[in-house]
Amino acid sequence: MGDPKYSRKKSARPRNPWQRNLLKEELELVGSFGLRNKKELHVASTELSRIRKQARQLLAATTEIRTAREPVLLTSLSRKGIVTDDATLDNVLALNVSNFLERRLQTIVLRKGLARTPHQARQLVTHGHIAIGNNRINIPSYTVTRDEEPLVKITDGSTFVLQEIVVPEPKSDTYGNPDEKEELESKEKPVEEKTEAKEEAKEKTEAKEEAKEKTEAKEEVK
């Protein structure tokens, strides 16, 4: 294995990472898209900066260069589902980081209703429960193209499907599960029995004391 060619960092940290508004925005994006850490967010931000830079360069380029390169950029973004087919360079400049995060496989799984939360979607992808066509993909950050999006599905024979198919037991309106009702009744019975036993013992004690007092009173009269 040789040295990697044209290797470069895929992400760049913000220049002022401790701004209050920036920290709040990053936290919301990490939570809403179920990202593992801020590095995944920085990767998407760097890709957005690269695309916007290309769009600005094309706007400032000559007519010949723009005519040759603009369709290539727009076609690439349209194929990935980031922009529409009739988008222009102005639409590219209006993109934000959420447009790129929406095309992640993890987000597509959530949007298609295959998972309940972003974190569950990430777990399904990582554990190999998600496939695109016949290919199993276990990379949450995989960019799903517009043609691949209808092919995203749960893999055949996935244990996750078997767990979701299980029908829950019917629940009662008052106690919930019928088994819980029996448990509650069995717990209530010993408590009631103990209470009744205490009351009976108390009544017997009071009766003995009354009889004793009557006996003592008779002896005093004699």
pLDDT at 221 over 80: no
CA torsion 75→79→83→86, rounded to 10°? 50
Q: Do residues 98 and 28 touch, judged by C-beta distance below 8 A?
A: no
Q: Do residues 193 and 201 touch, judged by C-beta distance below 8 A?
A: no
153 DSSP β-pair partners: 131
Mean pLDDT, the chain, whole residue set: 85
d(CA 141, CA 103): 9
Q: Taking the model in full, what pTM does it have?
A: 0.69
Q: Please tell me which residue, 121 or 181, carries the higher pLDDT value.
A: 121
172 falls in which pLDDT band (50, 70, 90)? low
Picking from 79, 55, 63, the residue whose alpha carbon sits closest to that of residue 148 is 79
Lowest mean pLDDT, pick from 19-28, 107-116, 158-167? 158-167
d(CA 129, CA 160): 7
